[in-house]
Amino acid sequence: MIAVTAKSLFTPTERIESPLLLVEDGRVAEISSRASRSLPSAARQVDFGDAMLVPGFVDLHIHGGAGHDVMEADLGGLCEIERQLIAHGVTAYFPTTVTAPVNQTLSALDRLANAIEAAESGATGGSRRAVPIGIHLEGPFLSHARRGVHPPEHLLPPTPAMFERFWEASRGHIRVMTIAPELDGAEAVIKEAAKCGVCVSLGHSDADLAATRSGVNAGARHATHIFNAMRPLGHRDPGILGEVLTNPDVTADLIADGVHLNPTVVQLVLRAKGTENTVLITDATAATGMPDGRYRLGMQEVEVKEGRCTSDGRLAGSVLTMDCAVRNVMKFANLELQQAVRLATVNPTRVAGLSQRGTLQVGSRADFVVLSANGETRQTIIGGEGL
């Protein structure tokens, strides 16, 4: 048994001062305060001094990093992405597809399902890497008008039959799906996906208010990178943003890199949705952690220069890391560290329906991050490894 101590611990919904976190066989055995519990005599103590212990970060929307894309045929690239993720506090993630030819998407879904199942079975051994816990299907059911850099020739009208092909290829591991609710056939696909337990997320959409509400009524309950690749908010035509910002049953994620959203808009989203219904994502690409240059996003070539990732002048994902997103949202929206951590831990897992992750509680896997008071990652622990 290992006894972990530090200045504070965020579960993240509760804060414990002078915590005592007991880890045994890779899981949390006990959480208490040193004021009420003495160190077990047989335990080995690991003291992190003035640091904060928080659940491992979870990225709901990530395309790549370390020079690799999650849709690559070589799974070795996925391992490099996962090693980079733990350096920034991410212990679990949702590899996110980008619109491509159907056969390429089906093959990618199969490979990503293999990676998820290998992680679940422990076949990856004791490797200290972040683990994939679900797939985010972004495309091909997107609006041509708001497609961003998704290739238009591979966008498809949503049909239950096509969704079923994707679902079968993923072997049920699609946990999030982005769709434009105004497309013909979208309502039927939203209903089908929601029945399968998928978090249907509205995005890459030019929907008006009525079409958005139809999508929500069909079962959509989240919004992808709010404000980006969406019809702008109009005071007479509120559109998709009017519904997302005012409906308390719809959660939303945002990219807090200072590029995709002005800090004032980040404040607006947090005031409208609250810290309970907002999720931090990175939308990171293969260029993340790499020098300026040219990289791949699915089939697209993207260029990175001075922190901006673009393709033909359009924003094409980001080079954001999750620990930086946590620090940024603290600055942009004047949040406390505990509030910002919530946006990167329990909120994304709740959105995806995976409540066993994103929290520190007795019985949960001992995935946690050691942070400084300002949110700098000092160490990432995966399943107790690293202690």
Catalytic site residues? Answer: 283
Can you name the residues that pair with 253 across neighbouring β-strands? 279
CA 188, CA 195: separation in Å to the nearest integer? 11
Q: Distance (Å, rounded) from C-alpha 243 to C-alpha 241?
A: 5
Nearest-angstrom CA–CA distance, 14 and 185? 43
Sorted by sequence, the CB contacts under 8 Å of residue 76 that are 6+ apart come out as none
Q: Estimate to the nearest angstrom the gap between the alpha carbon of 344 and the chain centroid.
A: 7
Pair of tokens at residue 295: 């990289």
Q: The tokens of 353 are what?
A: 């329906």
What is the b/e burial string over 34-57, where b = at least 16 CB atoms within 10 angstroms of the residue's CB?
eeeeeeeeebeebebeebbbbbbb
Cα dihedral 186→189→194→200 (10° resolution): -40
Are the CB atoms for 249 and 216 separated by under 8 Å? yes
CA 212 to chain centre: 23
* Contact predicate 358/349, CB 8 Å: yes
Q: What is the DSSP letter of 154?
A: G
| Residue 386 near residue 83, CB atoms below 8 Å | no
End-to-end CA distance of the chain: 11
Q: Pairing mode, if any, of strands 308-311 and 314-315?
A: antiparallel
